Amino acid sequence: MKNILITGGCGYLGSHCAVKLIEKGYKVIIVDNLSNSDSSIIDKITKITKSKVIFYKGDIRDNKLVDKIFFQNKVDSIFHFSGLKSISESIKYPIKYYSSNVEGTINLLRAMESHNVNKIIFSSSATVYGNNYKLPWHEELCPLLPNNPYADTKLTIEKILQALSKSKILFKIGILRYFNPAGCHSSGLIGDNLENKNNLFPSILRVIMKRDKYLNIYGNNYDTKDGSGIRDYIHVNDLIEGHLKAFNYINNHDGYHLWNLGMGKGLSVYEIINVFEEKIGKKINTKIKPKREGDIAQFWSSTIKAKRELLWEPEKNIKDMVEDSVYYLQKSYNYKIFN
């Protein structure tokens, strides 16, 4: 049974990945500074998998802690999820973002080198692509032109990993460029943090829960079919399945490899709202707000490379993402669907 260290394992994606890896027979070690999550997630992972997880609360910029984790556990591979992820916040506080994301990763890689761990799967983002390039965004055709500090931290990390893959140590690196993960685990026990007011799905859930009165619609005059922003939403289960396939691939291929993980089609904010309204049988109140800084009108993924190399294809659709999200509210927040 191999030991996998998951950074950011209490977060939305990290926790789903932990469950999946445990179910596949891996032993999971989590390190998380709980900046956008809380430690109750560990109990939930244990409840779903009926297995123990080793948990370290702390920051991967802490050298001593990271070395301790490697010393105390025979770490085989890393799934690196930790990092900050708000574009607008990164524009306001760039140093915070470079420190958390880039410095944190460098520290992790330093520890990997000194402890002879050479396999890493890294959570990158479609945000690294050039915004004006024609759709769909393809890994090998689309230029890389990040337009905000958050995006730049992701691309910087990709470049560091690429440099490492050419160094004298044999690395096995898988970069996954996510589009917009949504939905949650079928248990309804883990999902996106509802304190996250940035992303669309948790923001809609906050309105359904009556934590917020309105859903802000950031821009209704984009050059899109209904004026709202269009994104490529992908079910978190499919996304995590992509990680397993990427991990399998790097186990059999040395060096540096990268893939988009998206559905390959775009949906507008209004289309998502409609699916939620149908599911809950109620209107979702909205308010039009100005476009967010750094936001763009529309993008979706080319899925050709992941299909070809990983034999990976998403199985769930937008209805599944919405249904699972509402089930999460029912199970984890005691939401009653028809009240």
Task: Tell me the site size for ligand UD1, rule CB under 6 A.
Answer: 21
Residue 333 falls in the annotated catalytic set: no
Catalytic residue (one of 26, 150, 178, 233): 150
With CB under 6 A as the contact rule, the residue among 3, 49, 162, 216 that binds ligand UD1 is 216
193 lines the binding site for ligand UD1 (CB under 6 A)? no
Strands (E), 11-164: 27-32, 54-57, 75-80, 119-125
With CB under 6 A as the contact rule, the residue among 80, 231, 243, 245 that binds ligand UD1 is 231
With CB under 6 A as the contact rule, the residue among 15, 82, 100, 127 that binds ligand UD1 is 127
- The smaller minimum CB distance to ligand UD1, of residues 160 and 296, is found at 296
Question: For residues 247-276, which are near ligand UD1 according to CB under 6 A?
Answer: 269
- Which three-class secondary structure string do you get for 238-289? HHHHHHHHHHHHHHHCCEEEEEEECCCCCEEHHHHHHHHHHHHCCCCCEEEE
With CB under 6 A as the contact rule, the residue among 33, 123, 153, 203 that binds ligand UD1 is 203
Q: Which secondary-structure segment (H or E) carries 3?
A: strand 3-7
8 Å CB contact between 19 and 49: yes
200 lines the binding site for ligand UD1 (CB under 6 A)? yes
198 lines the binding site for ligand UD1 (CB under 6 A)? yes
Q: What is the DSSP letter of 230?
A: E
- The smaller minimum CB distance to ligand UD1, of residues 51 and 286, is found at 286
- Options 8-16, 167-175, 212-220, 274-282: segment touching ligand UD1 (CB under 6 A): 212-220
| 122: β partners | 80, 175
Number of H helices, E strands in the chain: 12, 13
Instruction: Choose among 111, 100, 150, 96: nearest CA to 5.
Output: 111
Q: Least distance (Å) from ligand UD1 to the CB of residue 54?
A: 27
Q: Least distance (Å) from ligand UD1 to the CB of residue 196?
A: 8
Residue showing the smallest CB distance to ligand UD1 in the complex: 229
Q: Least distance (Å) from ligand UD1 to the CB of residue 227?
A: 11
8 Å CB contact between 285 and 148: no
The Cα–Cα gap between 335 and 210 comes to 10
With CB under 6 A as the contact rule, the residue among 218, 247, 327, 328 that binds ligand UD1 is 218
The Cα–Cα gap between 42 and 10 comes to 7
Amino acid in position 213: K
Question: For residues 59-118, which are near ligand UD1 according to CB under 6 A?
Answer: 85-87
224 lines the binding site for ligand UD1 (CB under 6 A)? no
Q: Which residues contact 28 (CB under 8 A, 6 or more apart)?
A: 3, 4, 6, 9, 18, 21, 22, 45, 53, 54
- The smaller minimum CB distance to ligand UD1, of residues 177 and 245, is found at 177
Question: For residues 17-46, which are near ligand UD1 according to CB under 6 A?
Answer: none
Give me the sign of the Cα torsion angle 260, 262, 263, 269.
Answer: negative
Q: Least distance (Å) from ligand UD1 to the CB of residue 117?
A: 26
Q: Least distance (Å) from ligand UD1 to the CB of residue 79?
A: 17
Question: For residues 279-298, which are near ligand UD1 according to CB under 6 A?
Answer: 292, 295
* Tokens found for residue 169: 């140590």
* 3-state SS assignment for residue 109: helix
Q: Least distance (Å) from ligand UD1 to the CB of residue 297?
A: 8
Site residues (CB under 6 A) for ligand UD1?
85-87, 125-127, 180, 198-200, 203, 215-219, 229, 231, 269, 292, 295
Q: Which residues are catalytic?
A: 150
